[in-house]
Every structure is written in structure tokens, then in C-alpha cells.
A and B are shown apart, each in its own frame.
Chain A
């Protein structure tokens, strides 16, 4: 079983919808949690990261971490076609490497 699990989707929503992307993890040592966006044939692009449990908001994006249930979420408000990509969650113990899920593919239809 992978340390970080994501629903692979694909997820298809209409433009303007609220999108919820979720991950679970098993490594209790993770302190930092990250969300990356990856367009086809590109490298992952960091969207945001959070430390420990709590919420963090950046524009249309909100990241939530619940360490008690080992659950990570990313919410996208007012989704746009340009948000269509694969979203990767990751955990990090602050000792170097990040451990990634396999990504959720999102399509936002105009």
C-alpha cells in the first residue's frame, strides 16, 4: 500500500464549479503537506503547502489538513478550464524527500 493515496479520477466538472480533491496518508511523521499541479508533459508546479493540521487559503485555492484522520484536501473555487490538469498531493517529514500520491486528473469544461 502506498504511503499517500489519491482517487485517480478522472474528475470532470463544469466551469465555475467547486472542486474537491482528496488524499489520505499513512506516515504519521509527515509534517508538511503539499499540492502540486501538473500539466501534460510538464513538471509539477507547486500550488501551496501547509504545516501540520489546519487550513490555508490562496486565491481560489484552499488546502486543508486533518492529521487526526490523516486526510488532506484541496478545494478549488470558481474552477476554470485552465485548471484542467493532474493534481498531486505529497507529504514531507522535513528531512528531505517528498512522498507523492499518483494524482487526480481534473477536467473543467467550458
Chain B
């Protein structure tokens, strides 16, 4: 594909609902990152995959957050029992190398009501 694709673009979830956010990285990109961006702030790191291996999940805010990339391409970020504080834009990025100069998708805007 031409770029990083994320779906859905917008998601409204009721508090307590589980959500799954999808990321299709640029073909051939080894590294994949998830970031969380609150309004008026910069992206905050959540987790990092190199191929199918999750090398860093230090940014996941709680055990309600889970990410996977089982075949080393598409990734899913799952949030269980969503809370209002989970409302944010979730950005996916991919790169050939270890994250320098990563390309971002358009993000999924999650609103928890």
C-alpha cells in the first residue's frame, strides 16, 4: 500500500466495552509502533514490534491494553473494559529500521462515553 492504514478512523465505545484497532503498515516495514496522542499533546509511546516480536511494551498504561502482530505485518491494539481516560487518538507507525523516521497512519480517534 501507499502508506500506513488504520481502521476504523473513528470509534465511539461505551465505558466498559472492548475495542480493537487495526494497523496495516507499509509493506516490508519491519518495525511497527503504537502511540497514543491526547488532545494538545505529542504522541506517547505505547509499544514496539520488530516483525512479530513485541520488543518493548513499556508504554502500555495498564493490563487492559494488549497489542499483537502475529504474522509480522498487520497489528491490532486491543483495549479491554474501556475507560473515559482511554479517549485519545491512537497512532500506528512503521519503519524499515528501528524507528528513526517512521511513517505514521492517520490514527483512530477513540471516544469513550
Give the total of B residues in contact with A, Cβ under 8 Å.
28
Task: Indicate whether B103 reaches chain A with its CB closer than 8 angstroms.
Answer: yes
Q: In the complex, are the beta carbons of B45 and A99 less than 8 A apart?
A: yes
Tell me the minimal C-beta distance from A99 to chain B in angstroms: 7
Q: A100 contacts B42, CB within 8 Å?
A: yes
Q: Which residues of B contact A94 (CB under 8 A)?
A: 98-100
> Interface digits, A40-62 against B, CB 8 Å rule (1 contact, 0 not)?
01111110010000000000000
Known contacts A96-B31, A97-B59, A100-B43, A44 near B98 by CB under 8 Å: no
Query: Do the beta carbons of B100 and A95 come within 8 Å of each other?
Result: no
Q: Are B42 and A45 in contact (CB under 8 A)?
A: no
- Interface presence of B25 (CB below 8 A): no
**Nearest chain A CB to B90's CB is how many angstroms away?**
11
Chain A residues within 8 Å of chain B by Cβ, number: 26
**What's the minimum C-beta distance from A52 to chain B, rounded to whole angstroms?**
12
CB neighbours of A43 from chain B (8 A): 4, 91, 93, 104-107
- B42 and A101 contacting across the interface, CB-CB below 8 Å: yes
> What distance in Å separates the Cβ of B65 from its nearest Cβ neighbour in chain A?
15
Q: Interface of B with A (CB < 8 Å)?
A: 4, 31, 33, 35, 40-45, 48, 50, 55-56, 59, 91, 93, 98-107, 109
Residues of A in contact with B (beta carbons under 8 Å apart): 4, 6, 8, 32, 34, 36, 41-46, 49, 88, 90, 92, 94-103
